[in-house]
Structure 1
Amino acid sequence: MSKRVTFQSRRPSVSRVRGAVVAAGVGTSMVLGAGAAFAAGTADAPQASSLVTTATADSVAQQAAAQGKAAEHTAAKKAEEAKKKADAKKEAATKRAAKLAWEAPVDQYQLSASFGNDGSRWAHKHSGQDFAVPIGTPVEAAHEGTVVKAGPNGAGDGPAYGNAIVIKHGNGTYSQYAHLSQIDVHVGQHVEKGQKIALSGNTGNSSGPHLHFEIRTTPNYGSAINPVNFLHNHGINV
């Protein structure tokens, strides 16, 4: 009895081939899909980076603007403070200048009767400071101002003063000069500190050549204050 030898074909079956092809196709698709996805992600990355950069730039710009405003505010505040200090210094200097903008009414003198003295020579206490000087000594305005009285009879304050002048000053005070031998100014005239306004004399109720000097709070007799103390307070020693 002869044996049948069966040989198996080594060629893959059609179904196996087809299955392999399908599997390969699926794998290929998966690989291609991943590659496409990677490619897409790579394409979107610059856009995302651009968005982040823009947001960062905006934030930096906002911070810079805020810092700029803060710096401007600080600078303005410092400038305002500096201006206030400068104004305060200027005002203080002006006050010092105004305080020192007085002088004695004559250059060389001896003090005689003082403010507040009393006695038989005066009907009331002495209302000013006397500067003993020779007749004809130049009399100067002790401070700048406007002449409000000038003439004989004490310029309206009474014959005891003889020839007299009263000057109104911007600080609300008045200065009076009496017993003059000559008057060189007129009512309404503006005079500067140190300007010659008269010559000293011995007119009126006078015991000898001298200048009678008063500081008043009004232009009229009866409002005098101590002229020496006043001048001292304004930096002038007499």
Structure 2
Amino acid sequence: MSKRVTTLTRPSTSRVRGAVLAAGLGASMVLGAGAAFASGTTGTVALTSATTADAVAKQASAQSKAAVDAKKSAAEQADTAKKAAAAKQAAAKKNAASWQVPVKHYTLSATYGTGGDRWAHKHSGQDFAVPIGTPVHAAHTGTVVKTGPNGGGDGPAYGNAIVIKHANGKFTQYAHLSKIDVRIGQTVKTGQEIGLSGNTGNSSGPHLHFEVRTTANYGSAINPVSFLRAVHVSV
């Protein structure tokens, strides 16, 4: 019986080298892929962080701008309110300067609406007790529509009198004068001297009788003190 002899063949050197080379190449590919993956992940994280930081910065900038705008708006509103208040005050002063009391250094005597034997009806004006010859001034700019004795046409009780028409539709009357310095149709300005106080007509003593009327004629008088106060003139 014959014996089988098994012969072991050793791999050639070239095959061994090839296998080693292939294994090394595979390992390099795997390591390269891992490195590439790691690099990609790092880049994504960095990009995300940059985007978030940019968004936060933009939001902070927007909030800061909103705060500045709000502060600016508040300042503008305050400035507008301040200017409006100043304009209102200036208008009040101008209005006050456009009307004035007809005499200076006076004592108030008979008032509007007072009853008594001296008048056929209740007192139609405000009396300013002043010495005879005290300068009488136009209470407001206007045009003279009545002047002369006999109340300028309103009756002998007024003595020498003047009536002035004003642009707002009101009329002022100045009575019991000792002298008249204006004529019908003449334009007078606020504060202009128009005559001198006296004691003419139905008068119990030297004074100026002052009326504010809605027409040029007797019987349309309103409370002169209340009217002057409405135009910021204190009596």
TM-score over 0.5 for the alignment?
yes
Which residue, out of 161, 164, 180, partners 1:163? 161
Q: 1:156 to 1:27 in 2, by over 3 A?
A: farther
| Alpha-carbon contact 1:116-1:126 (below 8 Å) kept | yes
> Counterpart of 1:177?
174
Residue type of the alignment partner of 1:213 = F
Q: 2:166 is paired with a residue of what secondary structure?
A: strand
Aligned length: 224
> For 2:120 and 2:71, how far apart are their aligned partners in 1?
67
1:33 Cα deviation after fit: 0.8
User: Quick one: structure 1 residues 38 and 82, their matched pair in 2 at CA, closer, same or farther if it must change by over 3 Å?
Assistant: same
1:106-185 map, 5 Å: 106-142=103-139, 144-147=140-143, 149-152=145-148, 153-161=150-158, 162-168=160-166, 173-180=170-177, 181-184=179-182
Within-5 A mapping of 1:223-234: 223-231=220-228, 234=232
Which residue identity is paired with 2:123?
A: H
Instruction: Provide, for residues 112-151 of structure 1, a one-character-per-residue CA deviation record: whole Å limited to 9, x for no partner.
Output: 4332233443222210122233332111234x43235342
Name the CA distance, whole Å, in 1 between partners of 2:86 and 2:183: 34
Moved more, 104-113 or 92-101: 92-101
**What is the aligned partner in structure 1 of residue 51 from structure 2?**
55
> Can you give the 5+ residue segments of structure 1 that lack an aligned partner in the other structure?
1-7
Instruction: Percent identity, please.
Output: 46
Give the superposition deviation at 1:206: 3.7
* Letter of the 1:175 counterpart: T
Matched, 1:236 2:234: yes
- Does residue 37 of structure 1 match 2:40? no
Q: What is the alpha-carbon distance in structure 1 between the residues aligned to residue 225 and residue 108 of structure 2?
A: 10
Report the TM-score, using the length of structure 1 for normalisation.
Answer: 0.68
Question: Which of 181, 189, 192 is the equivalent residue of 1:191?
Answer: 189
Could you tell me which residue of structure 2 aligns to residue 21 of structure 1?
17
Larger deviation, residues 95-104 vs 78-87: 95-104
Q: Distance in 2 between matches of 1:126 and 1:53?
A: 92
Cα distance, 1:24 vs structure 2: 1.7
